[in-house]
Amino acid sequence: MSKNKSSESVKVVVRCRPLSRKEESNGPAGGIVQMDLRLGQVILKNPRAPPSEPQKTFTFDAVYDSSSKQRDLYDESVRPLIDSVLAGFNGTIFAYGQTGTGKTYTMQGLWLDPEKQGVIPNAFDHIFTHISRSQSDKQYLVRASYLEIYLEEIRDLLDPNHGNTRGLELRESPETGVYVQDLTSCVCKSIKEIEEVMNVGNQARAVGATDMNEHSSRSHALFLITVECSQPGPDGRKHIRVGRLNLVDLAGSERQAKTGVQGDRLKEAAKINLSLSALGNVISALADGRSSHVPYRDSKLTRLLQDSLGGNAKTVMVATLGPAPQHYDETLTTLRYANRAKNIQNQPRVNEDPKDALLREFQKEIARLRAQLNHRRFRSKQKKEQVDGEAWEREGDEEEEEVEEEEVEKEAEEFVKLEEQRLEKENEAIREDQFLLAEEKQKLLGENEKMMGDLRKRQEATEQLTARYKAMESKLLVGGKNIIDHTNEQQKMLEMKRQEIAEQTRREREMQQQMLIQDEEAVELRETFTSLQQEVEAKTKKLKKLYAKLQCTKAEIKDVNDEHVRSRQELEQTQNELTRELKFKYLIIENFIPPEEKNKIMNRLMFDPEEDEWKFKPLVPDESKSSQMKKRPASAVGYKRPISQYARVALSMGTHSRYRAENVMLLELDMTPPNTSALTDGEQNQSPTLNNFPTNDKGICKSRSWCQSQKSITSSSSNNSLFAALKTFN
């Protein structure tokens, strides 16, 4: 089946949930789904068809009926995948099915009941138990992220502000493939911590939704776990393997009714299942094997799962079914979908020493902090020994390094303590010394105080460094240490036995399936007929069998055609609605927006394929952002600053009285001291300098410049005219 050595197909398992109480009370008919666990077959009964119509049979890697346990599904179908992730492969598990068929139940289950915990909590358990049991030369770093895709927007469920910010963007790098930019990722050191992360995300999901059920059935939730493991290789260097696990709870696969809705609601409805229909197209294109183009870029979900479908990953798909007769169509669609996914071939490989491994950075940072810390302690120890009068000899022995490190730390602390005591004593001595002058005392005490301060600062810095070092180091999990409460040997054995059984069942099923196929082919070859009659009988039997098969296939073709027609009709309907909407918008634009405005807008718009949106081009090109300020226009030649036409005329006309009141006020400085006496005492109290200056009787006194001399007042012609003017005023 495999095309080349490293390729393997997507594993598809099907699970059917029990009839709910409501469904049981609804009708007499039992479930429409029958399962053959031994053969991994699902047999679907059409409740509307006559009993003579053959039932539909689908074969999968494994099937789980309504009585199946969470643990069975995990041990048989998921455990091997998680083991691969721990060995450095990428892995994906996604649950697909109609709303209410048990996707969330399968992925998460009931947290409080260990029997009913789903795939995700079991995977947590598995990962951390594995780490605790691995050899002590292995170092692990486990990180978790949680996101959801709703209406084609990616939301970070671990970011407390995710509700206010815009959706996250997808980026692609040749190293890691497609990833979400700025996605929060939490380092987890234990099962409890990673469960906490999951809880925080689940709460964010619930808070963000007005109607939880509605929202969760329309959004895709992705929980991502990255396990980095470093281990010394045969070359003595540490090698890092990175396994990425995607746990995906998809939106309900049922058709969203798109008819009858308009405007924003229509766009919303069109977007809801965009990811799912894109996923379907991707699966079809991959399963077909002939189409050269796989439409990964059509939706965010398919881009994120690009590696999981036809790429570098091992993938398990859990298709969930409901047994109720009223959902026959949806159940059949799910089974067909799952059946197609079986044919997808992936090329998983171990991710060895990727450049972006966080573990390597952590190791480097820890080594740096450790060196820094050792250096500090070493200096303190050196000082202490100088104080003690000992000669410092560095012992270069490698073996003693660990012991020495602790010793150095202890001695450094001792040194600080001793130094403090010494300074304290000195202070006492200075205070008690009667021969010292008060001033000197103060100075010495001050110096000591400063030294003490320095010492404390150094001590604080060292403590901070130690705390950082310890925090950093604690993030790395070391194999062989007990992270979870210890599981005893018996439990370990039990688990191993359980795994063996699961493995055996799986192999048995595969063999059964193969035998069935071979039987059909080989029976004819082996048969020898003793009489013609016998031969006729056998051939008739075979003919009947083949005829039944033919009928089945014909019915299948008709079904698929019908479905195709139905979905085409639906698409046409959506298209009509959208065209109508478009016409409406055109009408508004053509009739109410001036053409030049429209052209301006059209010229500035451009399409951004990354975000699938039209955007305005920036008004100013990006590179000249710093010089965004418009330059001042050059001034008119000969003038200091831009100047109005009016002011220019005024200037050229000189101080013509016509322009005097305009633009710039031509006021002479008034240098005379204010004179108000004329208003009270009349002529006698006037200042002698103004004696012969005419004032009017009503006490109005025209001010004039102080710099103008007495003489100039009497002699100047302007004064004469002023005089005349005042006269006329009187």
Of all residues in the shown chain, the one whose CB is closest to ligand ADP is 102
Q: Is 534 labelled as part of a ligand binding site? A: no
Q: Is 311 labelled as part of a ligand binding site? A: no
Q: Tell the smallest beta-carbon distance from residue 146 to Mg ion (Å).
A: 15
Question: 214 to 233, contacts with Mg ion by CB under 5 A?
Answer: 216
- CA–CA dist 233, 454 (Å, integer): 46
- How open is the CA angle 596-600-601, to the nearest 5 degrees? 120
Nearer to Mg ion, 318 or 416 (CB): 318
- CA–CA dist 258, 106 (Å, integer): 29
**Among positive and negative, which fits the CA dihedral 524, 530, 532, 537?**
negative
**Among positive and negative, which fits the CA dihedral 660, 665, 670, 674?**
positive
Nearer to ligand ADP, 92 or 253 (CB): 253
User: For ligand ADP, which stretch binds (CB under 6 A), given 98-106, 379-387, 435-443, 626-634?
Assistant: 98-106
472 alpha carbon, distance to own chain's centre: 23
Q: Tell the smallest beta-carbon distance from residue 184 to Mg ion (Å).
A: 23
Nearer to Mg ion, 59 or 101 (CB): 101
- CA–CA dist 118, 62 (Å, integer): 17
Question: 18 to 57, contacts with ligand ADP by CB under 6 A?
Answer: 18
**84 contacts which partner out of Mg ion, ligand ADP, none, CB within 5 to 8 A by kind?**
none
- CA–CA dist 215, 213 (Å, integer): 5
Q: Which is nearest to 268 in space by CA: 44, 474, 577?
A: 577
Q: Tell the smallest beta-carbon distance from residue 320 to ligand ADP (Å).
A: 6
Nearer to Mg ion, 206 or 517 (CB): 206
Q: Tell the smallest beta-carbon distance from residue 251 to Mg ion (Å).
A: 8
**Among positive and negative, which fits the CA dihedral 319, 320, 325, 329?**
negative
Q: Is 100 in the site for ligand ADP (CB under 6 A)?
A: yes
Q: Is 413 exposed, middle or buried (0-12, 13-18, 19+ CB in 10 A)?
A: middle
Quick check: 705 and 671 in contact, CB under 8 A? yes
Of all residues in the shown chain, the one whose CB is closest to Mg ion is 104
Q: Is 17 in the site for ligand ADP (CB under 6 A)?
A: yes
- CA–CA dist 286, 104 (Å, integer): 26
Q: Is 310 labelled as part of a ligand binding site? A: no
- CA–CA dist 126, 136 (Å, integer): 18
**162 contacts which partner out of Mg ion, ligand ADP, none, CB within 5 to 8 A by kind?**
none
Q: What is the dihedral of CA 280, 285, 289, 291, to 10 degrees?
A: 170
Among 101, 122, 139, 695, binds ligand ADP (CB under 6 A): 101
Nearer to ligand ADP, 332 or 713 (CB): 332
Q: Is 306 in the site for Mg ion (CB under 5 A)?
A: no
Give the H or E element holding residue 241: strand 238-249
Q: Which two tokens stand for residue 576?
A: 């009509």
User: For Mg ion, which stretch binds (CB under 5 A), given 212-220, 235-243, 338-346, 602-610?
Assistant: 212-220
User: For Mg ion, which stretch binds (CB under 5 A), given 95-103, 221-229, 418-426, 466-474?
Assistant: 95-103
Q: Is 246 in the site for Mg ion (CB under 5 A)?
A: no
729 alpha carbon, distance to own chain's centre: 85
Q: Tell the smallest beta-carbon distance from residue 78 to ligand ADP (Å).
A: 15
Q: Is 99 labelled as part of a ligand binding site? A: yes
Nearer to ligand ADP, 18 or 30 (CB): 18
Q: Tell the smallest beta-carbon distance from residue 22 to ligand ADP (Å).
A: 11
- CA–CA dist 214, 209 (Å, integer): 8
**Among positive and negative, which fits the CA dihedral 569, 575, 577, 579?**
negative
Q: Is 201 in the site for ligand ADP (CB under 6 A)?
A: no
Give rounded-to-5 percent helix, strand, coil for the chain.
50, 15, 35
**Bridge partners of 178?**
172
Q: Tell the smallest beta-carbon distance from residue 195 to ligand ADP (Å).
A: 19
Q: At what angle do helices 401-432 and 438-475 cross, to 10 degrees?
A: 160
**97 contacts which partner out of ligand ADP, Mg ion, none, CB within 5 to 8 A by kind?**
ligand ADP
Q: How many residues at the interface with Mg ion, by CB under 5 A?
A: 3
Q: Is 150 exposed, middle or buried (0-12, 13-18, 19+ CB in 10 A)?
A: buried
Rg (CA), the chain: 44
Which residues neighbour 105 within 8 Å (Cβ) at sequence distance 6 or greater?
17, 118
**Bridge partners of 615?**
606
Question: 250 to 269, contacts with ligand ADP by CB under 6 A?
Answer: 252
Q: Which is nearest to 171 in space by CA: 180, 163, 162?
A: 180
Nearer to ligand ADP, 306 or 333 (CB): 333
Q: Which two tokens stand for residue 63?
A: 């099937």
**Among positive and negative, which fits the CA dihedral 202, 205, 208, 209?**
negative
Q: Is 101 labelled as part of a ligand binding site? A: yes
- CA–CA dist 268, 270 (Å, integer): 5
Among 217, 306, 363, 462, binds ligand ADP (CB under 6 A): 217
- How open is the CA angle 97-100-105, to the nearest 5 degrees? 85
- CA–CA dist 506, 500 (Å, integer): 10
What phi, psi does 142 have (nearest 5°)? -115, 130
Nearer to ligand ADP, 134 or 216 (CB): 216
Q: Tell the smallest beta-carbon distance from residue 105 to Mg ion (Å).
A: 8
Q: Is 97 labelled as part of a ligand binding site? A: yes
Quick check: 268 and 151 in contact, CB under 8 A? yes
Q: Tell the smallest beta-carbon distance from residue 103 to Mg ion (Å).
A: 5
Among 99, 308, 312, 462, binds ligand ADP (CB under 6 A): 99
User: For Mg ion, which stretch binds (CB under 5 A), given 100-108, 290-298, 532-540, 623-631?
Assistant: 100-108
Among 11, 56, 103, 314, binds ligand ADP (CB under 6 A): 103
User: For Mg ion, which stretch binds (CB under 5 A), given 8-16, 213-221, 289-297, 633-641?
Assistant: 213-221
Among 105, 223, 296, 362, binds ligand ADP (CB under 6 A): 105
Q: Is 220 in the site for ligand ADP (CB under 6 A)?
A: no
Nearer to ligand ADP, 118 or 348 (CB): 118
Q: Is 104 in the site for Mg ion (CB under 5 A)?
A: yes
Q: Which is nearest to 242 in space by CA: 474, 7, 84?
A: 84
**Among positive and negative, which fits the CA dihedral 116, 122, 124, 130?**
positive
Nearer to ligand ADP, 240 or 324 (CB): 324
**Bridge partners of 478?**
139
Q: Is 312 in the site for Mg ion (CB under 5 A)?
A: no
Q: Is 97 in the site for ligand ADP (CB under 6 A)?
A: yes
User: For ligand ADP, which stretch binds (CB under 6 A), given 45-53, 96-104, 411-419, 570-578?
Assistant: 96-104
Q: Is 104 in the site for ligand ADP (CB under 6 A)?
A: yes
Q: How many residues at the interface with ligand ADP, by CB under 6 A?
A: 13
Q: Tell the smallest beta-carbon distance from residue 614 to Mg ion (Å).
A: 34
Nearer to Mg ion, 107 or 188 (CB): 107
> Taking the CA of residue 384 as centre, how many other CA atoms within 13 Å lie in the half-sphere pointing to its CB?
21
User: For ligand ADP, which stretch binds (CB under 6 A), given 3-11, 102-110, 239-247, 449-457?
Assistant: 102-110
- CA–CA dist 227, 241 (Å, integer): 8
Q: Is 108 in the site for Mg ion (CB under 5 A)?
A: no
User: For Mg ion, which stretch binds (CB under 5 A), given 101-109, 363-371, 412-420, 616-624?
Assistant: 101-109
Question: 319 to 338, contacts with ligand ADP by CB under 6 A?
Answer: 320
Binding residues, as ranges, are 97-104
Binding residues for ATP, as ranges, are 97-104
The residues binding Mg ion (CB under 5 A) are 103-104, 216
The residues binding ligand ADP (CB under 6 A) are 17-18, 97, 99-105, 217, 252, 320
